[in-house]
Amino acid sequence: MLFEDPHKPLRDDVRLLGTLLGETLRRQEGDALFERVERVRGLAKRARRGDAEASRRAFDQLAGELADMPVDAALPIARAFAHFLNLANVAEQHHRVRRRRAYQRNPHAHAQPASIEEALPRLITAGVPAAALHSAVCSLRIELVITAHPTEIMRRTLQIKYNAVADALAGLDRLDATPLERETLIETLRREITAAWETEEIRRGRPSPLDEVRSALAIFDQTLWNAVPEYLRSLDRALRGATGRGLPIEAAPIRFGSWIGGDRDGNPAVTAEVTRRACLASRWTALSLYAREIERLREELSMNDASDVLLARVGGAHEPYRALLRDVQRGVEQTRRHVEDQLSLRAKRAGLRGEEIYSTAAQLAEPLRLCFDSLNATGNGLIANGRLADVLRRLSAFGLTLVRLDVRQEAERHTEAIELIARRMGRPGYGDWSEEERIEFLTNALADVTRVPADLPHNPRTSDVLQTFDALASMPAESLGAYIITMASRPSDVLAVELLQRRAGLAPPLRVVPLFETARDLRASGGVIDVLLLIPWYRDRVRRAGDRQEVMIGYSDSAKELGRVAAAWELYTAQESIVSACAAHGVALTLFHGRGGSVGRGGGPTYLAIQSQPPGSVDGTLRVTEQGEMIQAKFGLPGIAVRTLEVYTTATLNAALAKPRAIDPRWRSVMDRLAASAHAAFRQVVHDDPRFPSYFRAATPEAELDALHIGSRPARRPGGGLSALRAIPWQFAWTQTRLLLASWLGAEVMLPSSEEERGAYREMYRDWPFFRSMVDLLQMALAKADEGIAAHYDRHLVPDDLQPLASSLRVRLQRATAAVLAITGHDRLLADALVLRRSIDVRNPYVDPINLVQVDLLRRLTALRSVLTDDGSGEESRAHDIAVLRAALMVTINGIAAGMRNTG
């Protein structure tokens, strides 16, 4: 398969799914809809082919076909194309798994790039000593942090159905499948596609934070629970082959964190009780999974031969492994019942069914390790390294909680709480103090926490903050991760959280992680860390915690403030300054990257992103957020999940072992100039042009996004205007119109003005991973953008007085595209990524009709609302019509998101 046409099976799958969807349309809706969808599809394909004039005529005909169509006629057309795009996504995901298996199956093929089998031998060949490589792998500490950022538009109900479609496609790949088995699988596809068609795409209500917790935990149950041991077995084999030594059973290169139920920044629905229940739900799920595994171990470990230590433990019982595991299973079940009691909403139930037996992962691991050692000691290592080894490796990776919950809150909320404490201690006005005064007060209070008052006057805002710390103090330490401070800008922001933790009695205290995300705060970040580490109390705190400082950098808000190009450089130089500050104090650094799924929010290919970090910023430790639609994309199928874990491992390992390379000072000068020019261009449009807010509201469906009920967090911060709009809906809105302005605006200044400049850019693109990554991510965004579709939105939705602005933005898009082509030396975007280019080209004719339907719905919605404003008569009827239009609009938003493979 690798040496023929590797993508023919994908085309066959897409064709099969399209045929079955067509059958579904005929069967469920009738021939008329099917024929109309086919007519629209034919026009859309013609609009993407041939010369410019023929394409324009086909596009106009397509737009005419879809214009002014009754909603009940337009809606099923949009749904049909949206369902096809979702099915194509499933086929592409499955094909990634198929390609991975093809690499592994073919003995004559090179190992898959960025796989463990490729990376470890390559590093040995490059001169890394075997002992150093083994140590580096065993020392890896990567944490993937699942967040509930509202970018997953697809309902969990539909995800389950599409996963069943993927499973059926996998069954059809079996060469030994009988005709009856194949027909059964085809029937399964028909059934799942029909069920998906008959299911509402849009959530009726906004999910609660605990709904989001349950959805996230489902990913662990369905894929990651089995993907992690498979990945670790693969790593063990490759490491043994490359270095002669395997992966220790307790090693966990990748662990998992979560913000879901702990992220209260801008989300009033996340309360102290929600955080407590999120921790318990995670613990209950983990215990349920371990109970299932230990039951299977009891069935499997039926042998009698055991070590003296194990025999003594069970009093010489027959089938000693089963005897020990029987007690272990009882302990796990009792611990799970104890957690259930704590989760119960029934009064006084907590604790009725006994105390927990296992409060830490080490307690559960001890008897299992005893079995493991006994099997190895009695010549049964082959058995030990099966299911039992997998359970022990899961305990190392997941603990008893699956994920460690981070808590996130904005700095100002902590300032308000400290203000209350200081006033109670006779020192009012904390919020007006200088930074030096704040540090002095906080360090003195930290030196003797007993002086800090426990009883404080009630204040709703501060009470919520203080109750959160009280709740954290009652939770098992292994359930908790870090405390993230949003909008951190000064050392006292960190010290404030340290004091609030100790006042509540958290032992051990959580890691306190400042999050720098605005341009001003990023520029000051290194200085803030330096001052913190100069404070004796804090330096001692870091020393006692292992001499490691964690710092988070935010990609979303910096890009929304500065534009993608300027933000990329600010983030790069901020990391350099933080690395330098920590090194000056002899402190190791863990950088926590708050990336989104889209290019405009720091997203992009994992391997490329990690390799482009500044020298010294990745020392084998890494934390990174995985959010929204990227969770399903990266972990929704078992094979994809394993590949994702592999890529994180090899990218981090390569970055950690790479020899530091000095950056040419000329390149820095070029980037300083480009970043300044790009920021000025971005600011001129977004922040300085008074017409822009009106254009944004007119040209995009931004005002309707909150009705999607994507997540529990509101789309806006308190206040009004663009500054109050969060980065996710900002990005999402531009993705819908296909302008993708948030991902590239400012990049047009990179168009070379001379051959000398072109040569300098190409040298940087060739030799500097950061610059190459930045340009390639721009290239991905620009390839997805479509000037013609964006112009259609402008023509039909934007008032005449804003047309000059709309036109100028499309010119900027042209210049940004020309700039990237000039730098890469290609005549077409993604010339080096033909698979992605082909995917975009195939999708365009299926996304275009949904865009046209959306434009027509937005136009009619705007007109209807203006009538409603001017004339009070017939309000009830018009309100109904508006509701119908909005419901149809939600379907188009869903479909475009599926086609673009991104929301925010």
Name the amino acid, one letter, at 369.
R
149 classed as catalytic: yes
Mean pLDDT of 540-564: 94
**pLDDT of amino acid 393:** 98
Give me the architecture of the 408-648 domain, per CATH: Alpha-Beta Barrel (3.20)
Residue 108 corresponds to which tokens in the numbers above?
């004559």
Radius of gyration over alpha carbons of the chain, in Å? 29
* CA distance linking residue 566 with residue 257, whole number of Å: 30
pLDDT in tens, 735-755: 999 999 999 999 999 999 999
Residues constituting the chain: 904
pLDDT in tens, 850-882: 999 999 999 999 988 887 555 566 778 888 888
pLDDT in tens, 696-739: 999 999 988 877 766 666 655 665 567 767 777 888 899 999 99
For residue 788, name the pLDDT band (cuts at 50, 70, 90): very high
Triad 212, 213, 218: Cα angle to 5°: 95
Determine which one of 149, 414, 634, 679 is catalytic: 149
* CA distance linking residue 541 with residue 543, whole number of Å: 5
Name the range with the highest mean pLDDT among 201-210, 452-461, 654-663, 764-773: 764-773
For residue 478, name the pLDDT band (cuts at 50, 70, 90): very high
Residue 330 makes CB contacts below 8 A (sequence gap 6+) with 357
Q: Domain locations in the chain? A: 408-648, 662-832
Q: Where are the alpha helices (DSSP H) in 535-605?
A: 536-544, 556-562, 564-584
**pLDDT of amino acid 871:** 55
**pLDDT of amino acid 710:** 65
pLDDT, averaged across the chain:
92
Please give the C-alpha separations between residue 431 and each of 162, 414, 419, 828, in angstroms, as whole numbers. Answer: 52, 11, 6, 55
Cα torsion angle, 864, 197, 596, 210, sign: positive
* CA distance linking residue 13 with residue 173, whole number of Å: 10
Residue 467 corresponds to which tokens in the numbers above?
């109750």
Cβ atoms of residues 701 and 733 within 8 Å: yes
pLDDT in tens, 15-48: 999 999 999 999 999 999 999 999 999 999 999 9
Determine which one of 83, 94, 560, 634 is catalytic: 560
Helix (H, G, I), strand (E, B) or coil at 904: coil
Separation of CA 368 from chain center:
34
DSSP string, 110-140: PPPTTSHHHHHHHHHHTT--HHHHHHHHHH-
- Res. 155: pLDDT tops 90: no
DSSP string, 826-884: -SSTTTT-HHHHHHHHHHHHHHHHHHHHHHHHHHHHHHHHHHHHH--TTHHHHHHHHHH
Mean pLDDT of 377-390: 98
Triad 847, 852, 856: Cα angle to 5°: 145
- Res. 151: pLDDT tops 80: no
Beta strands in 128-212 (DSSP E): 141-147
Cβ atoms of residues 594 and 515 within 8 Å: yes
- Phi-psi label, residue 334: left if phi above 0, alpha if psi -120 to 50, beta otherwise: alpha
Mean pLDDT of 596-617: 72
pLDDT in tens, 43-79: 999 999 878 899 999 999 999 999 989 999 999 999 9
Cβ atoms of residues 143 and 623 within 8 Å: yes
458 classed as catalytic: no
Which secondary-structure segment (H or E) carries 256? strand 254-258
